[in-house]
Structure 1
Amino acid sequence: MKKRSSADIDQAVVNVWKRELGQLSTRNFARRFAASEDLVSRLEIHKKLEKHDGCVNTLSFNAGGDILVSVSDDLRVILWDWETGRDKLSFRSGHANNVFQANFMPFSDDRTIITCAADGEIRQAQILEGGEVKTILLGKHEESQVHKLAIEPGSAHIFYSCGEDGVVQHFDLRTRSATELFTCLCVDDFKGYRSYVPLNAIAIDPRNPNLFAVGGMDKFAQLYDIRKYKWDGSSDFGQPVCYFCPQHLIGNEDTGITGLSFSDQSELLVSYGDEFIYLFTQSMGLRNPPFPSSSFMVSMGSDTSKVEPGSIASSSSMDLDGKNAPRVYMGHRNCETVKGVSFFGPRCEYVTSGSDCGRIFIWKKRGGELIRVMEADKDVVNCTEPHPHTMALASSGIEYDIKIWTPKAIERATLPTNIGQVCLFHSVCIEIHILKNLLVAFDLMAWLDPVIYEIR
């Protein structure tokens, strides 16, 4: 990692001077300090939380930031006092298959948690006095896994779900009812495999909770406006307000969206499988269904066609049409699993994601510069969850533990130089390991032995 410039040091001194003179409020001073790149460079493991007996699929902090909730393939929900590393409560989720998401409902005194899972169910867990927990089935996506839930900002009752059946549902805890809003349709399914998009992600704009985006096994993130829906079913709600997609991916049938996140400034972060992460502003949305054309495609001689996942390159190589091109973040690998993506910092100054190589990647939001890479898992990191108030981060993946990162390192970390090669090698090793396990599971190793002997 490059040394801190004298300009950065000078600016820090100026900020202290302004605060002492009353020209910079204490809140703004604290925010500027909290967003310091120096703190990012000093992140290290504070605690390892160990109690799950399966892959930890998701993490979420409560509004106060003192409790972390986790769920796993072991079907359990655990509430942690993450600062001490102690579990406060552990209970069965009520699901019959891998649990993918868990969130505290706002204004519930941290006693209401909603969950979704591979069994297609959406459930509510109510923590009663004395620690007893009651789980209730709220709704279901038939024969479909449900990866994500999205809570309406500021609401104690409203949230949404999306499933691999392409359906988006609306929930109201006051009535414990589920309303099927629409089925997300493919924009340009030329191969004719399906008419709907299996959905992996949903996110609500915090500045305008009427707007929410969905994404899945398609290259378009689709933005919808709930105000266009009439509860008597008389309107055609299944039409997006606009679409988001990097121009060079339009017409590409080999990639899809694994993660979505809105910033406090209504910017939309989109993570693609076998590709990169892109940041869109609202002005970059395409109003009409975009179909491939020569003006949308990248020429084979461009820099973009030469960039592979796992490599490090300047974001300027993706600026296809000047100022209107999305910002790109690259260096990680997102090929093996469904990974999330998130903003980090008090004003979303950074972007963070896990990687197939078992590392956490952190970029500057402005400029797209990769500034930190952290060893976090022996296999794959799927989830990076930022603390709501401080520069702390929680991560989880294929391993059964949870890691809490805080900026307490004495020495600043340096950025590795061979990230692309290491990520690619690690990904190949994982694929070989999975293949070997499959052969063992189906007792094919014994069948292959005589074949190999005959070949010899």
Structure 2
Amino acid sequence: MGEEEEEHQENEDNDWEDHDDNDWEDYDEPEEVEEEEEEDTSGEDSHLFSDSSDDDSTVILDTDAEVDFENHPLFKKEKPKHKWFVLKEVDQRQLGYSAKLQSRELFQRRCYGSLHCVQRLELMYKLEEHAGCVNSLNFHPDGTLLASGADDLKVVVWDWKLGKTLLKYKTKHRANVFQSKFLHLYGDLHIATCARDGQVRLAQVNKEEGVRNARLLGSHKGPCHKLIVLPEQPHIILSAGEDGAVLNHDVRDPKSTKVVTVKEDSKTIALYSIHGHPLKSHEFCVSGRDSIVRVYDQRKSNKPAATYTPFVKAKAKNHRNYHVTCAVYNHNGSEILASYSESDVFLFDVNDTEPGKFIHQYQGHKNGATIKGVNFFGPKSEFVVSGSDCGHIYFWERNSEALVQWLLADDNGVVNCLEPHPQLPFICTSGLDWDVKVWVPSCEVEPKMEGLSDTIKDNLKMKLGHEGTEFNENRMLWILWRHLRNTTRLRASNMLNIRDFLQLYSDSNSSGSESVANSDGSDDDLDRPPNCNTS
């Protein structure tokens, strides 16, 4: 049911069995750190964010203060104006006006980055093949294929334009597949996956033969949520796990190597996200169970090259509950976008590392139930897009911070994954539903966004601690009930058993740092789909 986010709890040490001789050598176990006495920070820095900015969107998260939701700054954002007009563009292309400026590539980019395309997005169709929550989406570099990974331990490769399954295969992971990525290699399709069992695997597949070759590249000592592939180094995969380690997997080598173990004051930081610089293959950013986004250079990875946080005092007591669930670079690496649990989405200038400094803050959504993704939309990162616990997709115009599109994208309430097409103004999404939704700019009218105001007010109330506890408890009970019903159906097909549901309930009440490991290593357990996870 998506990736687990462990709120208000410390990392637990996990004992992991070595299931494969491929584990990388000299791995440093996450160190145990005695809990330090919490300092009394009452009265200190009640403003969690820097208030030095002139932008009135800066939020003061003081839950004891009276908040006027009706007059929230988000509702006062000036809507951006259209700068691209399809009739004018087509007419000028037909007349040959400024032929140099009317090339096919420039026309495509201007269309992709236009407000018109974002506001005309609508659901084209649903891709239905998985028997579990879909946790990952990835377009092939040429945009022709789409790969999805899910809780059913399978990867499906789609011909998304036709809405058909091209091929599917079992990954041999033991728990929820969290990421699936195409490698930039020729010939057969090469797909790398990582999962809650901590393993990073590579499969070589084609339509005629299915899986031609599959092997384990390496393992984390904890769940592995994200991995990246490097276009300039197509044989290299970097993965980040909850053990705090970033691993380098060269598909030509038998073993993986450790790049860095992320720590803060000798304490290992669980990692939820990793993203590569689009122009510098040696640079990447990671984020996880604290409020800091860290940038590392592989050539000198003993310490971060830069750090970013919207908080003035990143280590203050009040900031410990704000985790970065996802951080990504923009199209040229000049900015980093980060989504914070129980907070907002922030945009950082890579050249300004002062704590509390950020360029923009995007509000209105709710990020709390899962490890939620965030992304840019447009060839020049013109828009910011995020899922939400309310089941909607939110599109903000990058510069104005104004909400320009709002779409219901998950019937069960949480949208986790957002994958824009690399060349065209399409986007695919997934969440707790067992399908992939394809959105295209074909709607004939601009969005009315009815109910947006009430939904945002509810999200803001929950975010600031008003009426949020009761809602979250009720939602958890509803989700558990729904999956008990689905589990009963799947048992008839010998897909799940009662132990899986008990594990679901246990996972939803635990820190989530434990991986679902195979207790006896039997082959039967390898192909048994696990439960969906709510956090």
Same fold (TM over 0.5): yes
Residue type of the alignment partner of 1:283: N
- Mapped pair 1:349 → 2:421: no
Q: Structure 2 length normalisation: TM-score? A: 0.68
Cα deviation digits, residues 361-417 of structure 1 (max 9, x gap): 111112221111100102100011100110000000011011000001111112333
Q: Is the 8 A contact 1:257 1:272 kept in 2?
A: yes
State which of 429, 439, 443 in structure 2 corresponds to 1:405: 439
Q: Is the 8 A contact 2:134 2:150 kept in 1?
A: yes
State which of 67, 71, 88 in structure 1 corresponds to 2:149: 71
Q: Which residue of 2 aligns with 1:334?
A: 367
Q: Is the 8 A contact 2:283 2:296 kept in 1?
A: yes
Alpha-carbon distance, 1:11 to partner: 11
Cα deviation digits, residues 219-238 of structure 1 (max 9, x gap): 0111111122xxxxxxxx32
Alpha-carbon distance, 1:427 to partner: 9.0
Q: Which residue of 1 aligns with 2:287?
A: 215
- Mapped pair 1:258 → 2:325: yes
State which of 351, 364, 376 in structure 2 corresponds to 1:283: 351
Aligned to 1:31, the other structure's residue is in SS state helix
Aligned to 1:227, the other structure's residue is in SS state coil
Q: Which residue of 2 aligns with 1:20?
A: 97
- Mapped pair 1:245 → 2:318: no
- Mapped pair 1:274 → 2:342: yes
Aligned to 2:438, the other structure's residue is in SS state strand
Equivalence map 1:2-81=2 (5 Å): 8=83, 13=88, 17=92, 20-22=97-99, 24-26=101-103, 27-81=105-159
Alpha-carbon distance, 1:196 to partner: 0.8
- Mapped pair 1:150 → 2:183: no
Q: Which residue of 1 aligns with 2:270?
A: 198
Residues 1:325 and 1:177: Cα distance change in structure 2 (over 3 Å): same
Alpha-carbon distance, 1:79 to partner: 0.4
Alpha-carbon distance, 1:182 to partner: 1.8
Residue type of the alignment partner of 1:432: N
Equivalence map 1:45-444=2 (5 Å): 45-109=123-187, 111-128=189-206, 130-133=208-211, 134-142=213-221, 144-186=222-264, 195-228=267-300, 237-248=301-312, 250=314, 251=316, 252-266=319-333, 267-286=335-354, 325-378=358-411, 379-415=413-449, 416-423=452-459, 424=462, 429=471, 431-435=473-477
d(CA) in 1 for partners of 2:469, 2:186: 42
Residue type of the alignment partner of 1:179: T
Q: Is the 8 A contact 1:42 1:411 kept in 2?
A: yes
Aligned to 2:110, the other structure's residue is in SS state helix
Q: Is the 8 A contact 1:360 1:375 kept in 2?
A: yes
Structure scoring higher RCO (CA < 8 A, sep ≥ 6) equals 2
Aligned to 2:192, the other structure's residue is in SS state strand
d(CA) in 2 for partners of 1:400, 1:420: 26
Aligned to 2:456, the other structure's residue is in SS state helix
Q: Is the 8 A contact 1:358 1:380 kept in 2?
A: yes
Alpha-carbon distance, 1:7 to partner: 7.2
**Greater shift in the superposed pair: 28-37 or 254-263:** 28-37
d(CA) in 1 for partners of 2:342, 2:116: 31
* Residue segments in structure 1 that go unaligned for 5+ positions in a row: 188-193, 229-236, 291-295, 297-323, 443-456
Residues 1:85 and 1:29: Cα distance change in structure 2 (over 3 Å): closer
Residue type of the alignment partner of 1:402: V
Cα deviation digits, residues 108-136 of structure 1 (max 9, x gap): 34510000000010000111573231320
**Greater shift in the superposed pair: 247-256 or 85-94:** 247-256
Q: Is the 8 A contact 2:190 2:203 kept in 1?
A: yes
Residues 1:374 and 1:253: Cα distance change in structure 2 (over 3 Å): same
Q: Which residue of 2 aligns with 1:320?
A: none
Alpha-carbon distance, 1:243 to partner: 0.4
Residue type of the alignment partner of 2:362: Y
Q: Is the 8 A contact 1:357 1:427 kept in 2?
A: no
Cα deviation digits, residues 131-175 of structure 1 (max 9, x gap): 231320110012x00000011133220120110010111111111
Q: Structure 1 length normalisation: TM-score? A: 0.80
Q: Is the 8 A contact 2:287 2:325 kept in 1?
A: yes
Q: Is the 8 A contact 1:52 1:74 kept in 2?
A: yes
d(CA) in 2 for partners of 1:60, 1:5: 30
Alpha-carbon distance, 1:248 to partner: 4.1
d(CA) in 2 for partners of 1:3, 1:223: 33
d(CA) in 1 for partners of 2:364, 2:313: 18
d(CA) in 2 for partners of 1:91, 1:426: 40
d(CA) in 2 for partners of 1:50, 1:369: 33
* Residue segments in structure 2 that go unaligned for 5+ positions in a row: 1-74, 485-500, 503-535
Q: Is the 8 A contact 2:134 2:149 kept in 1?
A: yes
Residues 1:198 and 1:13: Cα distance change in structure 2 (over 3 Å): same
**Greater shift in the superposed pair: 415-424 or 71-80:** 415-424
Identity among equivalent pairs (%): 34
